[in-house]
């Protein structure tokens, strides 16, 4: 297992292996995304309270889930980089940060769009929206630090430290914001605590969540491959690879 | 321990000789507080209601203003790399820097709190709660801010970046502290909040200097 | 067989896509002085920082066998402008956990030619005088190895001969010195030279 892990840490081997996965992965995710979206938008029955606006859930909820686990994945890669000094892990951190920020932005945006018909206003300081906003700021911090340190050799380690500090804080932030919300507002419009979702509603949701993950991984791998080509552009294997294109 | 005491002494001495760096954030704090009545209107009831939030946000901004200088002069004059080179623990040094930062920026803010509270018509219970909450939270602010300060120390203009990096980390203490003041004003029990703030402070003392020390090592690695 | 203070094998360093040095192997024994020479930007400072572990983006083996970490004089002097000469010297002692007596500090101040400036803030000193304060760390402590990056810059002729004298003294007590400079070193000892392109 560990040997495999180390082998994968070599940019060249990662590049070769991921070259085989990336296309099927991307296709699978695109098929699942279109299929899931069509299912959710056309065939799922409208909610008896929210009507058709409930369909935004299929875009919003997977994004919100992925936003959080994206940060956890980023700090996982950061930890790998700090502990084993595997350069590839740093590349992974660098490539996932803008992706995570975008997906968090999508979660915020769709949350706001969903909020308009349900709450009558674009923005509500709802516990989940607020902690997603803070999560967005955490991502922005990592991206801002990286771009400010562009010319420093220590940029990778600095960003990894920041990502780890963020992931330690994430549960504290989530907890405090949730608690702050219950303190300030009675839970009059709870969207997320639905009684029980019928199977014809959660099954497409599950498909969408999986599709989001696959798509996210596919894009992440593509970005990492790009970055590898850039940093290794002077090595023989990249030159060979380019010659065969 | 020797290093801790010597380092705090050294920082106090340096700032005693150049007090403006310490005074500016405090003046900033008072100015920001006095801007709010001008913007919102002098009506005491309204000011009293939003006072905890105003005071807290102003205190956070004032702390962040002073944060950038925590390691900057030590980095620029080479003291920081001498610390890393010596066989002394960077953890202890960082803790000492945080302690002197708190003595020079956190503690004066705590002492200014009653004044700020008076300007905004807080009642006595509110003033006490506000001062106590800042006393409990300001060390945490210095500890967490130190991480941002160390991460950006090698960058030419790190000041604004520190704010972006550190602000999200301040959310929990901001929420708890303002809630504590509001609870005190409403006459309810605040001991629960005190425990929470102490728990966060304890966690920050144990963990934040690890990250800060690691960031210091990155900054001197060039 | 002499026990080496420092042994370097196959050091290699690349910075901003440029090869600074590669396949660098050398050692430093007690009583030896190693002079690193090379043009601007040839990686002298980087090499010294890499030896000390301050710069980590280098490959190769760097092994120290010392009880106490080497003393270092870098481009950034480690001198606080708003502290006095004495306070700065004391701080060096605190950092190295070395008990530094007042006598020793007085002696160092005298040797450094800073008599009368003991209680001046370093902000009020000249560039050369500040460098002398930073050199003071070598006089108040007994660490066996010194690493000096351009110690002669901003130093006048008096200072130069004084510096040569302390280098000689340190080698005589079996200390080791790694120094980067263009200045010819006029001491009564064989000098190892390491040239970087």
Taking alpha carbons only, the member of B83, B107, B92 closest to residue B12 is B107
Subunits with at least 3 CB pairs below 8 A relative to chain A?
B, C
Q: Where are the domains of chain C?
A: 1-69+143-197, 71-142
CB B178 within 8 Å of CB B136:
no
**Residue A168 in this model has a pLDDT that exceeds 80:** yes
Q: Is B89 on the interface with C (CB under 8 A)?
A: no
- What confidence score (pLDDT) does residue A189 get? 44
Residue B124: per-residue pLDDT: 84
Chains contacting chain B through 3 or more C-beta pairs under 8 A: A, C
Chain mean position to CA B49? 24
- Rounded to a whole number of angstroms, the distance from the CA of A66 to the nearest CA of chain B is 19
Q: How far is the alpha carbon of A62 from chain B, nearest alpha carbon, in Å?
A: 23
Rounded to a whole number, what is the distance in Å from the CA of A100 to chain B's nearest CA?
A: 16
- Residue in A closest to B216 by C-alpha: A158
Least confident of A36-50, A60-74, B201-215, C22-36: A36-50
Q: Do residue A161 and residue B214 have CB atoms under 8 angstroms apart?
A: yes
Backbone φ and ψ for A244, nearest 5 degrees, come out as: -80, -5
Decide: helix, strand or coil at residue A244: coil
Match 């030590």 to its residue by tokens: B74
Give, for C25, the enclosing helix (H) or strand (E).
strand C18-28
pLDDT in tens, B49-69: 888 889 999 999 999 988 988
| Chain C residues within 8 A of A153 when measuring between CB atoms | 15, 57
Q: What is the pLDDT of residues A77-120, one digit of tens each?
A: 999 999 988 889 999 999 999 999 999 999 999 988 888 888 88
With contact defined as beta carbons under 8 Å apart, do C78 and B77 qualify?
A: yes
In A39-86, alpha helices (H): 57-84
Alpha helices (H) in chain C, listed in sequence order: 44-52, 85-95, 102-111, 127-140, 157-172
Q: Do C79 and B14 touch (CB under 8 A)?
A: no
Q: Which of A85, A153, A155, A234 to mutate to test the interface with C (most CBs of C within 10 A)?
A: A153
**The pLDDT value given to residue C1:** 58
Q: Pick from B158, B161, B172: which is nearest to A173 by CB?
A: B172
Q: pLDDT above 90 covers what percent of chain B? A: 64
| Partner-chain contact C78 B79, CB within 8 Å | yes
- Confidence (pLDDT) at B189: 85
Q: What is the mean pLDDT of chain C?
A: 89
Cβ of residue A210 closer than 8 Å to a chain B Cβ: no
| Confidence grade of residue C188 (pLDDT, cut at 50, 70, 90) | confident
Whether the Cβ atoms of residue A139 and residue A195 lie closer than 8 Å to each other: no
The mean pLDDT of C98-124, rounded to a whole number, is 90
| pLDDT for the residue B92 | 95
Domain ranges in chain A? 13-243
Residue A6 has pLDDT above 70, yes or no: no
Burial class (CB in 10 A: 0-12, 13-18, 19+), B180: buried
- Measured between CA atoms, the residue of chain C closest to residue A150 is C16
Give contacts of A234 with chain C, Cβ < 8 Å. 17
CB neighbour list of residue B99: distance below 8 Å, 6 or more residues apart = B4, B8, B142
Q: For chain B, which residues make up each domain, given as ranges? A: 2-221
Q: Are A180 and B175 in contact (CB < 8 Å)?
A: yes
Cβ atoms of C30 and C174 closer than 8 Å: yes
> Residues C2-7: what's their mean pLDDT?
84
**Gap from C53 CA to chain A (nearest CA, Å):** 14
Q: Which of A144, A157, A166 sits opposite B164 (nearest CB)?
A: A144
Long-range contacts of A39-44 (CB under 8 A, 24+ apart): A39/A204, A39/A207, A40/A204, A40/A205, A40/A208, A43/A204, A44/A200, A44/A201, A44/A204
| Residue pLDDT, tens place only, B94-153 | 999 999 999 999 999 999 988 888 888 888 888 888 999 999 999 999 999 999 999 999
Taking contacts as CB-CB distances below 8 angstroms, the residues of chain C near B81 are 54, 72, 74, 76, 78
Percent of chain C predicted with pLDDT > 70: 99
Of residues A242 and A165, more confidently modeled: A165
Instruction: Tell me which residue has tokens 């065969």.
Output: A244
Tell me which residue of C193, C154, B132, B214 sits closest to A165, measured CA to CA. B214
Any idea which architecture C1-69+143-197 has in CATH?
3-Layer(aba) Sandwich (3.40)
pLDDT confidence of residue A192? 53
pLDDT at A2: 60
Q: Min CA distance, A81 vs chain C (Å)? A: 14
Name chain C's partners: 3 or more CB pairs within 8 A.
Answer: A, B
Each residue's pLDDT tens digit, A179-228 = 887 776 544 444 555 556 677 778 888 899 999 999 999 999 999 999 99
Query: Which of C13, C56, C58, C59 is the best substitution to test chain A (most A C-beta atoms within 10 A)?
Result: C56
Please tell me which of the candidates C78, C94, C97 has its beta carbon nearest to residue B77. C78
Q: Which residues from C are below 8 Å from B83, CB to CB?
A: 95
Q: 3-state SS of chain B: helix, strand, coil percent to 5?
A: 85, 0, 15
Question: How many B/C residue pairs have CB atoms within 8 Å?
Answer: 72
Rounded to a whole number of angstroms, the distance from the CA of A76 to the nearest CA of chain B is: 16
Is pLDDT of B6 > 60?
yes
The pLDDT tens digits of the residues spanning A46-77 come to: 776 777 777 888 899 999 999 999 999 999 99
| Residues of chain B contacting A148 with CB distance shorter than 8 Å | 152, 155, 158, 161
* Chain-centroid distance, C-alpha A177: 21
A153 inside 8 A of chain C by CB: yes
For every residue of A84-124, which 3-state class applies, written as one string? HCCHHHHHHHHHHHHHHHHHHHHHHHHHHHHHHHHHCCCCC
Contacts of B135 (CB under 8 A, 6+ apart): B110
Cβ-based contacts of C91 with chain B (< 8 Å): 6, 10, 79
Give A219 to chain B, closest Cα distance, Å: 26
Query: What is residue A190's predicted lDDT score, i.e. its pLDDT?
Result: 46
Give residue B162's pLDDT: 93
Only one residue has tokens 């999508």, namely A106
The answer to whether the CB atoms of B87 and C68 lie below 8 A apart is yes
Mean pLDDT confidence for B197-221: 94
The reported pLDDT for the residue numbered A184 is: 64
Q: Which residue of A has its CA nearest to C57?
A: A153
Question: Given pLDDT bands bounded at 50, 70 and 90, which one contains residue A125?
Answer: confident
The model's pTM: 0.90
> Residue A4 — pLDDT band, cuts 50, 70, 90?
low
The two beta strands, C191-196 and C176-180, are unpaired
**Taking CA atoms, what residue in B is nearest to C48?**
B222
Distance CA B53, CA C163 (A): 61
Is residue B2 less than 8 Å (CB to CB) from chain C? yes
- Residues from B contacting A (CB-CB < 8 Å) are 147, 151-152, 154-155, 158, 161, 164-165, 167-169, 171-172, 175-176, 179, 200, 207-208, 211, 214-215, 218-219, 221-222
ipTM entry: 0.91
Taking the Cβ of residue C57 and every Cβ of chain A, the question of whether any pair is shorter than 8 Å is answered with: yes
């Amino acid at each position: 297992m560990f040997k495999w892990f180390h082998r994968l840490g070599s940019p060249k081997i990662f590049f070769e292996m991921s070259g085989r996965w990336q296309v099927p992965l991307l296709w699978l995710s695109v098929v699942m995304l279109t299929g899931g979206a069509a299912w959710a938008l056309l065939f799922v029955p409208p909610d008896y309270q929210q009507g058709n606006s409930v369909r935004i859930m299929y875009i919003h909820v997977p994004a919100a889930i992925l936003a959080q686990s994206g940060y956890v994945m980023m700090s996982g890669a950061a930890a790998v980089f700090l502990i084993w000094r595997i350069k590839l892990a740093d590349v992974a951190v660098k490539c996932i940060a803008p992706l995570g920020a975008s997906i968090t932005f999508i979660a915020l945006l769709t949350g706001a769009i969903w909020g308009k018909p349900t709450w009558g206003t674009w923005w509500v300081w709802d516990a989940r929206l607020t902690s997603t906003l803070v999560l967005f700021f955490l991502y922005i911090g990592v991206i801002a630090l990286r771009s400010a340190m562009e010319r420093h050799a220590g940029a990778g380690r600095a960003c990894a430290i920041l990502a780890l500090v963020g992931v330690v804080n994430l549960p504290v932030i989530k907890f405090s914001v949730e608690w702050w919300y219950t303190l300030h507002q009675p839970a009059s419009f709870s969207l997320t605590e639905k009684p029980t979702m019928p199977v014809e509603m959660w099954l497409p949701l599950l498909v969408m969540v999986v599709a989001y993950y696959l798509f996210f991984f596919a894009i992440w791998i593509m970005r990492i491959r790009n970055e590898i080509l850039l940093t290794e552009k002077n090595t023989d294997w990249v030159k060979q690879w380019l010659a065969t294109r | 321990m020797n290093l801790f005491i010597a380092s705090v002494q050294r920082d106090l001495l340096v700032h005693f000789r150049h007090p403006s760096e310490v005074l500016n954030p405090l003046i900033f704090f008072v100015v920001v507080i006095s801007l709010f009545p001008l913007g919102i209107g002098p009506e005491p009831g309204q000011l009293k209601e939003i006072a905890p939030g105003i005071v807290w946000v102003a205190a956070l901004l004032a702390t962040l203003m002073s944060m950038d200088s925590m390691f900057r002069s030590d980095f620029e004059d080479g003291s920081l790399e001498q610390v890393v080179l010596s066989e002394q623990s960077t953890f202890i040094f960082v803790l000492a820097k945080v302690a002197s930062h708190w003595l020079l920026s956190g503690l004066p803010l705590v002492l200014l709190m009653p004044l700020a509270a008076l300007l905004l018509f807080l009642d006595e219970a509110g003033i006490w709660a506000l001062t106590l909450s800042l006393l409990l939270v300001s060390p945490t602010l210095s500890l967490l801010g130190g991480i941002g300060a160390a991460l950006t120390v090698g960058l030419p203009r790190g000041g604004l970046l520190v704010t972006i990096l550190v602000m999200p980390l301040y959310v929990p203490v901001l929420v708890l502290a303002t809630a504590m003041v509001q609870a005190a004003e409403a006459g309810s029990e605040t001991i629960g909040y005190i425990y929470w703030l102490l728990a966060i402070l304890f966690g920050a003392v144990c963990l934040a200097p690890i990250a800060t020390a690691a960031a210091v090592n990155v900054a001197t690695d060039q | 067989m002499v026990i080496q203070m420092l042994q370097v094998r196959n050091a290699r360093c690349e910075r901003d896509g440029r090869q600074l040095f590669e396949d660098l192997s050398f050692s430093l024994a007690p009583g030896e002085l190693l002079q690193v020479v090379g043009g601007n930007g040839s990686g002298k400072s980087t090499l010294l920082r890499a030896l000390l572990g301050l710069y980590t983006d280098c490959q190769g083996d760097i092994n120290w066998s010392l009880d106490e970490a080497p003393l270092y004089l870098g481009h950034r002097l480690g001198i606080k402008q708003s502290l006095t000469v004495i306070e700065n010297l004391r701080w060096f002692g605190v950092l190295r956990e070395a008990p530094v007596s007042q006598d020793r500090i007085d002696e160092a101040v005298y040797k450094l030619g800073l008599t009368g400036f003991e209680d001046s803030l370093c902000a009020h000193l000249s560039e050369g005088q500040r460098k002398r304060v930073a050199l003071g760390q070598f006089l108040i402590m007994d660490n066996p190895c010194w690493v000096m990056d351009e110690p002669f810059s901003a130093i006048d002729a008096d200072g130069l001969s004084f510096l040569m004298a302390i280098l000689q003294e340190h080698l005589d007590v079996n200390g080791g010195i790694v120094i980067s400079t263009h200045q010819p070193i006029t001491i009564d000892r064989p000098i190892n030279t390491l040239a970087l392109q």
